[in-house]
Structure 1
């Protein structure tokens, strides 16, 4: 009797799915599971309906249950991996695809999907291995062909990445291929790809495309949603400005204040404002990341001649007073997120001649009241790290507070990211902790870069953790402070 009722419930659930009544379908599958708790088809049906309704977290629950009920099934593990990836549980997604591949080791598509999951989870070397395995099984596997180049870039193997992109036969511009070409010094090819992948906003389509020639009318330049692009390509704006009557930068609203102090920018307008008046006055438009290509820049010309950015004096005074900077011990800004854990900072403990100040906004649960000038510090690290307070970086403006604070501290120690590049753009001294596969802006080797001459570069060695660099970092910082 129970089996008949379950079959009827599954039929009704399937009918609900056929008419896109996803919530009703999930409810019917759940009723079936109450009557038959180990019914795997009902679990899979519920997961499919939940995902179709956009509820990937609920799908994970059903698929986890199915995976435990019938372990070793590749289809269940793969579906679980997809649902976990959709909920940004990336390491768990990769683990699920690993189980799926173990169950079907000759399935090229599963090997490729494992590569995609590993790459998303930050395991570039593992992704390369999975993509290679997929291509050995099927040299034409599309996901492996398209993903191998990106994985090789992330693994710090630009030459192999360029060759992988070439093998795909795909001629369209690609952001990861651009990164590989730029790392290898092919500025023309890399900048051409960056220009080609730039998204054109609707208003820009109404203007001529700027080709780098002198312009007797305003030039409109737009930047994308990543603030790293804004800082990375800021050094191009003065050159573009010298060729146009006026330069207007169209940026996401959170970047407007930061962008307003960049050299060469005449006016900044938010991209969600009405830019119609500027469009009518402008003579042409171009993406910020496309300027190097349109100007024909090389590695040597893509170098700033001075500080590219200026912090807001009132904000700088505010944070300087809050932290009582400029008196007593030198203050060293710290950025550890994105590559280090707090526990990794243990080598900095016991250093009595320097103060450490967090340049990151952290959750309130990570802050503790203290006797520091600001009254706040990061809770429970192995070294005392002062914090500007819970209102630091609390506004809508991207990294304006951080730039102001960096302008007054004595030096910075930071993982590659916006804070580090802000320090470079401000001309402030610091030590960059670079992963083995560093961005092209840092070049492939060397302790200095002409892009950010005030920064000293420490590079992760193969087979060693990034935290191993901290043994050397204090010597570098002390040298910078003494200078």
Structure 2
């Protein structure tokens, strides 16, 4: 087929694009590629039409082909990075943007796009480097100005992050800025941002926003869908309850039973239920994450003075009997993942003075029959890790089994997550295995947090493995159970 015919096909494809006939355009470009397999403009045209049609995965195929056919072209690598980002292939997107920047090292926009890709892929330090490079090339590069603060916050550099946010002069509340402020101890600023960011349910618009002053009618407090927030902001509930006639907590249905056992809560209702009667009785409403701001809490006052969660005695007795707890060796709950795998527990194999019990519901393929009291253990582990059984956490009420079991354990060793926070709410001893950049409730340094004072904190060192903290965690747990 002659070049003239190829040009005609490309012209027809362009006309189809003009008419928003994306599928027809892709088909015409493909016909051209059958006849001229190395025709890069046809590949780029097909990719653009596919992306316009929402088919980003197909665009990746065309752009990958173009990138291999004409390596070293920044426009192709950049377009591939955008398409990979749209398909959530974030590490690959960052690599594509790195190739684009290598081809055009003086392009500030490409450096900024690389920073955004690295940040989305979880490489916060790499994102900081790319954003800073972009700003050296162009101090006004908008994407770099907007992203540097977020990257610095994610990299565990909250002070530098706040300075970056201030330089931009962004007046809107931001979740990453809130996290940085809280990590630095600026509770007023951080809680104000979180309060402003909290979404307001339609039903809450019927009530006035609570101003933190005494209220002689019930206060409705709504929680979001993240149970970690429910655990993190629980210390504010008793303080709010002391100022109002009643405190009604509105939560997603799976957490009604657990939330009903939180201190300071008079009543709990599901957010998908009929709460019209409750609204009629209430005098004001507030978000759970907004309570600390409404109450004017500071680093000193946002602290737990005792257990904030109770468990159902019969349920606790059930799991205690199932695992034969309270007799013999101390029982330690384990939670792994996100940096710690089963293979990392090999050093624990020679420990005979402690029992280890998994605190997560696991798929049947990960469970094996055993001679342990419950009859179950985690399959494939180098150390015996007992498991409560397939019916653990199997009900519709989330985390009530886990909380009940933790209440009868001697201690826990856990990565960041709901079981760890449940141990903190219950006031149970334990060791938190924290990544180098942790959530604000764990602060940026120190071995204790006022939010969960019963927990001892171990922090991952830069470039170190989270699993390397396990030997020290075992030593701290031994001190807890012997004390």
Output the CA distance in 1 between the equivalents of 2:210 and 2:362.
Answer: 42
Match in the other structure for 2:301: 301
| Structural mapping, 1:7-406, within 5 Å | 7-406=7-406
Q: Is the 8 A contact 2:223 2:287 kept in 1?
A: yes
User: How far does residue 369 in structure 1 lie from its aligned partner after superposition?
Assistant: 4.3
Are the counterparts in 1 of residues 223 and 230 from structure 2 also a CA contact under 8 Å?
yes
- Deviating more after overlay: 12-21 vs 120-129: 12-21
Q: Which moved more, 1:412-421 or 1:380-389?
A: 380-389
Q: Secondary structure at the match of 2:93?
A: helix
Contact 1:195 1:290 survives alignment (8 Å): yes
CA distance 1:68–1:443, change in 2 (3 Å): same
Counterpart secondary structure, 1:392:
coil
How big is each residue's C-alpha offset from its partner over 1:14-62, in whole Å with a ceiling of 9 and x where there is no partner?
4444444444444444444444333333333333333334333333333
Maintained 8 Å contact 1:2/1:35: no
Show CA shifts across 1:273-314 (max 9, x none): 333332232211111111111111111211122111123444
1:373-394 CA-to-partner distances (Å, cap 9, x unmatched) read: 4444333334333333444344
My pick for the range that moved more, 144-153 or 440-449, is: 440-449
Alignment size in residue pairs: 483
User: Which ranges in structure 1 are unaligned for 5 or more consecutive residues?
Assistant: none
Residue deviations 1:61-119, cap 9 Å, x none?
A: 33323222222222222222223223332222222221221122112122112222222
Is the contact between residue 81 and residue 96 of structure 2 (CA under 8 Å) also seen in structure 1?
A: yes
Separation in structure 2 between the aligned mates of residue 317 and residue 88 of structure 1, nearest angstrom: 45
TM-score calculated relative to the size of structure 2: 0.92
- Per mean C-alpha deviation after superposition, the further-off stretch among 113-122 and 127-136 is 113-122
- Equivalent position SS for 1:269: strand
Aligned partners of 2:339 and 2:465 also within 8 Å: no
Q: Is the 8 A contact 1:12 1:28 kept in 2?
A: yes
For residues 154 and 310 of structure 2, the distance between their equivalents in structure 1, rounded to whole angstroms, comes to: 32
Partner of 1:458: 458
Give the Å deviation of 1:403.
Answer: 2.0
For residues 432 and 56 of structure 2, the distance between their equivalents in structure 1, rounded to whole angstroms, comes to: 38
- Give, in whole Å, the separation in 2 of the partners of 1:397 and 1:20: 49
Q: Which 10-residue stretch deviates more, 363-372 or 294-303? A: 363-372
Q: Does the aligned pair in 2 maintain the 1:219–1:285 contact within 8 Å?
A: yes
| In structure 2, C-alpha distance between the alignment counterparts of 1:179 and 1:39, rounded to whole Å | 49
* Mapped partners of 2:456, 2:283: distance in 1: 41
Displacement after TM superposition at 1:219 (Å)? 1.0
Deviations for 1:151-210, whole angstroms, at most 9, x for unmatched residues? 112222111111111101112222111111112221111111111211122222222111
Structure 2: which 5+ runs fail to align?
none
Counterpart contact for 1:248–1:268, Cα < 8 Å:
yes
Name 1:440's counterpart in structure 2: 440
Q: Is the 8 A contact 2:304 2:453 kept in 1?
A: no
For structure 1, which segment, 28-37 or 344-353, has the greater mean C-alpha deviation from structure 2 after superposition?
Answer: 28-37
Tell me, in whole angstroms, the C-alpha distance in 2 between the residues paired with 1:133 and 1:88: 25
Provide closer, same or farther for how the CA distance between residues 67 and 234 of structure 1 changes in structure 2, counting only shifts above 3 A.
same
CA offset digits 1:293-349 (Å, max 9, x no partner): 111111121112211112344443443344343343322211222232333333323
The TM-score with structure 1 as length reference comes to: 0.92
CA displacement 1:244-283 (0-9 Å, x = unmatched): 1111112223322221211111222222233333223221
